Amino acid sequence: MATSTLGEYLRARGVSRRQFLRFCATSASLMALPPSMVPRIAAALEVARRPSVIWLPFQECTGCTESITRAHGATIESLIFEAISLDYQHTLQAAAGEAAEHAREKAMKDNWGKYLLIVDGSIPTANPGYGTIAGVSNLEMLKEAASGCAAVVAVGSCAAFGGIPQANPNPTGAVSVSDVVKDKPIINISGCPPIPVVITGTLVQYLTFGKIPELDALGRPKAFYGQNIHDRCYRRPFYERGQFAESFDDEGAKKGWCLFKLGCKGPVTYNACATTKWNNGTSFPIEAGHGCIGCSEPKFWDKGGFYQPLSAGDWGSGRTIAAAAGAGVVLGAAAAALGRKRQKDVEAKQS
Amino acid sequence: MTLLDFARGPGLQWSVAIFVFGLLWRLVGIFFLRTKPDLSEPRNPAKWKGLRLIALRSWPRKEFLEGTAFGEVMGYTFHLGFLVALFFYVPHLLFFESVFEGLLGTDFEGIFGFRWPVLPTAAITFLSAVSVAALVAVLIHRITNPVKRLISNFDDYFSWLLTVAPLATGLLAYAHAGGIRYETLLGTHILSAEVLLVWFPFSKLIHAFTIFAARGATGMIFERKGASL
């Protein structure tokens, strides 16, 4: 494990005390912690040792890595991210092939039981040959790396829930990290891709408190996934007033009205997009004029159309309903015929 | 499959199928029954005028007002609140639009030439809350009134429960009550409406489809006999 502390590292990079404290205050705010916790976060980060991190990219598009590395400018978040000892990340590292694998094996051996394992991408299980690194299948590599880690951080919806590779018909038999790793704590940071500050914020939380943050039912940090997009959306007042864009270029859309009718999945999507936003707080998809597609939720790709309103039903082929209607008419006609016969019988007896 | 996925998919398909099956069974069975021939001389040949009874029976009669006022006021309150919440709340409208598009390949505007109007969420919330209050009031009245209690059976109480459930769960979903996840509340709300659909045709709730036809038929018989409406 690297010996320098985060405090030393950040000072060497020219980060002032003021900037550092501002970052700590922002992190506390993101994690819904009281301002009184800021000094504690600062003290913990100041002396935190750079933890060894092994990052395994499997069936992924590199979007998650792009998200964290393309943070706009040299933000303190990116510095924090750089400040961890990233001992293996074959997309980013210069070494390749056996040299890279040796680095991973050495980092695992030197930090056995302590290193943090970050995974992005789902794991193919239909055939070991669908995903290999240096001749080792993704499944085997994950099992081996997970056996010696302190915790796993599944970055992105593919690693957290299976994501797009798992979408119907799931040709590669893609599974999530939690489908494979059963005996280690797992933090899911879902999103396609996840918000950079949520990734770094989760790491800050782990470094500050030395333990896994409080997670929701889907294994995501509650501090970032505790509220849905709809509740924090700046377009919510238009929803309340019943003002909706009917198309992406109508008058309502130009006035920034609610995108619910255009398929926005904000009400059932839990993420921090509406509060932290993207690109250094510039905006988020709804602000850019498109509804939320629910990318931080499981199976978001298979939950009906992105442009189908949330409250529209999934009617299937409609054959069941058509058959039921036919059966109802036949049974009703039979009941009526029986009733008419009885009426006639009664009248015949009376006459 | 999550609760919401089930509610929006298989739950919806099966509940609507049972609703359609039961509704057609009951309606076809009733409307194709044979009318007993009336061989007497009609007192009034324009028996269609008896259709007035549909409107007349929908309004309280002065002489009975003292005894019926509570039921009339509360009944109208919860029926109107329920129907307005059902048909003029945007998410519900979008659900019905999906029905239109599924059955006819076009939306409401494509058929009628104008958009289905909607009300602000605050108005819907208020009307739903008033409906729930009115439903609670009629239940208390039913339990405390000895005559009503005597003529009530399981159908009345269960239908009440299934009628109030979608309103209550809808309000809870809107309020994100109890810190429960929204999709769980929404799934529960949709499921409560689906249980109502399944129960609807086989219970007294079928009156929604038969009451006006029954009043009209009765009015026509009365008119033919020359009875005062």
Instruction: Tell me, rounded to whole angstroms, the distance of Cα A215 from its chain centroid.
Output: 13
- Give the pLDDT confidence score for residue A1 in this predicted structure: 41
Please provide residue B46's backbone torsions phi and psi, each rounded to the nearest 5 degrees.
Answer: -85, 65
Closest CA to A217 of B182, B171, B187: B182
d(CA A171, CA A161) in angstroms, rounded, equals 16
- Per residue, what are the HEC states of chain B? CCHHHHHHCHHHHHHHHHHHHHHHHHHHHHHCCCCCCCCCCCCCCCHHHHHHHHHHCCCCCHHHHHHHHHHHHHHHHHHHHHHHHHHCCHHHHHHHHHHHHHHHCCCHHHHHCCCCCCCCHHHHHHHHHHHHHHHHHHHHHHHHCHHHHHHCCHHHHHHHHHHHHHHHHHHHHHHCHHHCCHHHHHHHHHHHHHHHHHHHHHCHHHHHHHHHHHHHHHHHHHHHHCCCC
A298 neighbourhood in chain B, CB within 8 Å: 2
- Give the pLDDT confidence score for residue B165 in this predicted structure: 97
In a domain, B151, yes or no: yes
What residue ranges do the domains of chain A occupy?
6-224, 229-302
Angle at A201 between CA A197 and CA A207, to 5 degrees: 150
B180 and A CB contact within 8 Å: no
Closest Cα in chain B to A334: B29
A260 and B CB contact within 8 Å: yes
- Mean pLDDT in residue range A225-230: 92
Give the number of other Cβ atoms within 10 Å of residue B82's Cβ: 20
d(CA A342, CA B49) in angstroms, rounded, equals 31
- Least reliable range by pLDDT among A3-12, B6-15, B49-58: A3-12
For B119-156, write each residue's pLDDT tens digit.
998 999 999 999 999 999 999 999 999 999 999 999 99
Cβ-Cβ contacts under 8 Å between A and B: the total is 129
- Mean pLDDT in residue range A181-186: 96
Angle at B226 between CA B224 and CA B229, to 5 degrees: 100
Shortest distance between the Cα of A171 and any Cα of chain B, in A, equals 19
In a domain, B38, yes or no: no
Query: How many residues appear in chain A?
Result: 351
B184 and A CB contact within 8 Å: no
In a domain, B127, yes or no: yes
Q: Do B29 and A310 touch (CB under 8 A)?
A: no
Q: 12-31 in A: which are within 8 Å (CB) of B?
A: none
Reported for A11-15, long-range contacts at CB under 8 A and 24+ positions apart, including other chains, are: A13/A79, A15/A76, A15/A79
Q: CA B28 → CA A345, B20, B103, distances in Å?
A: 21, 12, 21
d(CA A38, CA A146) in angstroms, rounded, equals 32
A312 neighbourhood in chain B, CB within 8 Å: 94-95, 97-98
- Give the pLDDT confidence score for residue A94 in this predicted structure: 64
B91 neighbourhood in chain A, CB within 8 Å: 260, 309-311
For A284-305, write each residue's pLDDT tens digit.
999 999 999 999 999 999 988 8
Q: Which residue has the tokens 């609703």?
A: B19
Residue A326 or B37, more confident: A326
Q: 132-161 in B: which are within 8 Å (CB) of A?
A: none
Yes or no: say if B93 and B87 are a contact pair by the CB < 8 Å rule. yes
Q: State the DSSP string of A81-130.
A: HHHSEEEEETTT-S--HHHHHHHHHHHHHHTTTTPEEEEESBEE-S-GGG
Shortest distance between the Cα of B52 and any Cα of chain A, in A, equals 28
Yes or no: say if B81 and B130 are a contact pair by the CB < 8 Å rule. yes
For the four alpha carbons of B104, B107, B110 and B116, in that order, the dihedral sign comes to positive
Query: How many residues appear in chain B?
Result: 229
A282: its two tokens: 């510039």
Residue A71 confidence class, pLDDT cut points 50, 70, 90: low
B193 and A CB contact within 8 Å: no
Comparing CB atoms, the residue among A298, A315, A329 nearest residue B13 is A315
Q: 197-256 in A: which are within 8 Å (CB) of B?
A: 217, 228, 230-231, 239-242, 244
For B7-35, write each residue's pLDDT tens digit.
998 999 999 999 999 999 999 999 888 88
| 3 state DSSP class of A272 | coil
Mutate which of B31, B92, B94, B127 to disrupt the A interface (most A C-beta within 10 Å)? B94
Gyration radius from chain A CA atoms:
27
Q: Which domain holds residue B101?
A: 3-27+61-223
Yes or no: say if B54 and B216 are a contact pair by the CB < 8 Å rule. yes
Side-chain-side CA neighbours of residue A13 (13 Å):
20
Closest CA to B27 of B203, B195, B201: B201
- Least reliable range by pLDDT among A152-161, A209-218, A282-291: A209-218
d(CA B88, CA B108) in angstroms, rounded, equals 13
Shortest distance between the Cα of B11 and any Cα of chain A, in A, equals 10
Closest Cα in chain B to A265: B183
B92 neighbourhood in chain A, CB within 8 Å: 311
Residue A2 confidence class, pLDDT cut points 50, 70, 90: very low
B166: its two tokens: 């979608």
d(CA B198, CA B19) in angstroms, rounded, equals 5
The total of structural domains in chain B comes to 1
Q: Under CATH, to which class is A229-302 assigned? A: few secondary structures
Please provide residue A233's backbone torsions phi and psi, each rounded to the nearest 5 degrees.
Answer: -75, 135
In a domain, B78, yes or no: yes
β A123-124/A174-175 pair status:
antiparallel
Closest Cα in chain B to A231: B176
d(CA A151, CA A212) in angstroms, rounded, equals 8
Amino acid letter for position B33: L
Comparing CB atoms, the residue among B4, B92, B120 nearest residue A268 is B4
- Mean pLDDT in residue range A224-241: 92
In a domain, B176, yes or no: yes
Query: What is the DSSP-derived secondary structure letter of residue A264?
Result: -
d(CA B92, CA B117) in angstroms, rounded, equals 12
B16 neighbourhood in chain A, CB within 8 Å: 321
d(CA B80, CA A88) in angstroms, rounded, equals 65
Q: Is the ipTM of this complex over 0.85?
A: no
Report the CATH number of the A6-224 domain. Answer: 3.40.50.700
CATH code where residue B90 lies:
1.20.950.20
Angle at A204 between CA A8 and CA A11, to 5 degrees: 20
B204 and A CB contact within 8 Å: no
For the four alpha carbons of B185, B190, B193 and B199, in that order, the dihedral sign comes to negative
Q: State the DSSP string of A307-344.
A: TS-TTS---TTSHHHHHHHHHHHHHHHHHHHHHHHHHH
d(CA B95, CA A118) in angstroms, rounded, equals 41
End-to-end CA distance of chain A: 105
For A74-119, write each residue's pLDDT tens digit.
565 666 666 677 777 777 666 667 777 888 888 899 889 989 999 9
Yes or no: say if A161 and A295 are a contact pair by the CB < 8 Å rule. no
pLDDT, averaged across chain B:
91
Mutate which of B14, B16, B100 to disrupt the A interface (most A C-beta within 10 Å)? B16
Instruction: Tell me, rounded to whole angstroms, the distance of Cα A175 from its chain centroid.
Output: 15
Tell me the H-state helices in chain A: 6-12, 17-30, 38-47, 63-69, 76-83, 97-110, 138-147, 157-161, 177-180, 196-209, 222-225, 229-232, 236-241, 251-254, 273-276, 319-350
